Amino acid sequence: MSDQKTVLILGGSSDIGYATALRYAEGGWRVWLAARDLASAQRNADDVTARSGQPVTVHALDVLQSEKFVDFVAQMPALPDTVISVIGELGDQKRAETDSSYAAMIMRTNFEAPSQLLDIFAGRFQARGTGTIVGVSSVAGDRGRGSNYFYGAAKAGFSQYLSGLRNRMSLAGKVRVVTVKPGFVRTRMTAHLKLPASLTVTPDRVASDIYGAAEENGREVIYVAKRFWLVMTIICLLPEPLFKRLKL
């Protein structure tokens, strides 16, 4: 292999995954996309290659099939320099309230499954002494809300997983762990929602912040957009009786 660095993006069919792939490719990185929807991921790969000139390959991954994780990592052409999970499932909160297997799918997709897979990469990065792990979580994990608490609880778990992993990896040479908390992003996931324009960002903006934190400025926990840090700090400070009345 050449000196060119490699990024593996888990969730390569997503809008944020596509934008992140393009940002890395424009930075001269080799890009591998892992996805359940291979046709969408291949379209993203072809588009990134056409725009950047960098080769992009696509690899099959259903994150709910955890029994295949060890083989998935082993069949990669090499251990990547950076692995980024953008996998997520907003789900339908109302359906989850009456369908426990659907609720379990939301929680596994956002928390358990990506954590298990990233942990395998963490072990390999620790043995090598270098590597960067990025998890795209959400501000929804900062405080549970009635309108999306299965998703929010899972993202809270994922943020805490990344925090603990960062703590563990701080003793492991140059292995870095970055937590990314987007607020509102205009993507396929939120296409059916009315989003406040002043608090909503594009996938390109998320990608640029991911690249900045992971490869340039060394930040470990980032809010996209930054003003969401203040919004969530205030929301987290609200006393429970007042928070309940807001019906968020």
Ligand X SMILES: NC(=O)c1ccc[n+]([C@@H]2O[C@H](COP(=O)([O-])OP(=O)(O)OC[C@H]3O[C@@H](n4cnc5c(N)ncnc54)[C@H](OP(=O)(O)O)[C@@H]3O)[C@@H](O)[C@H]2O)c1
What DSSP string runs through 166-203?
A: HHHHTTSTEEEEEEEEE-EE-SGGGTTS---GGGEE-H
Asked if 226 interacts with ligand X (CB under 6 A), we say: no
Nearest approach, Cβ of residue 14 and ligand X (Å) = 3
Asked if 205 interacts with ligand X (CB under 6 A), we say: no
Determine whether 139 is exposed, middle or buried from the number of CB atoms within 10 Å of its CB (0-12, 13-18, 19+): buried
236 in helix, strand or coil?
A: helix
- Active-site annotation holds for 211: no
Q: At residue 139, what are phi and psi to the nearest 5 degrees? A: -65, -20
Show the site string, 127-166: x = touches ligand X by CB under 6 A, - = not.
Answer: ---------x-x----------------------------
80 in helix, strand or coil?
A: coil
Nearest approach, Cβ of residue 88 and ligand X (Å) = 2
Residues of span 25-54 touching ligand X by CB under 6 A:
35-37, 40
- HSE-up of residue 208 (Cα within 13 Å, Cβ side): 7
Asked if 168 interacts with ligand X (CB under 6 A), we say: no
Nearest approach, Cβ of residue 234 and ligand X (Å) = 18
The pair of structure tokens assigned to 241 is: 């009786």
Give the footprint of ligand X on this chain (CB under 6 A). Answer: 11, 13-17, 35-37, 40, 61-64, 86-89, 109, 136, 138, 182, 184-185, 187-190
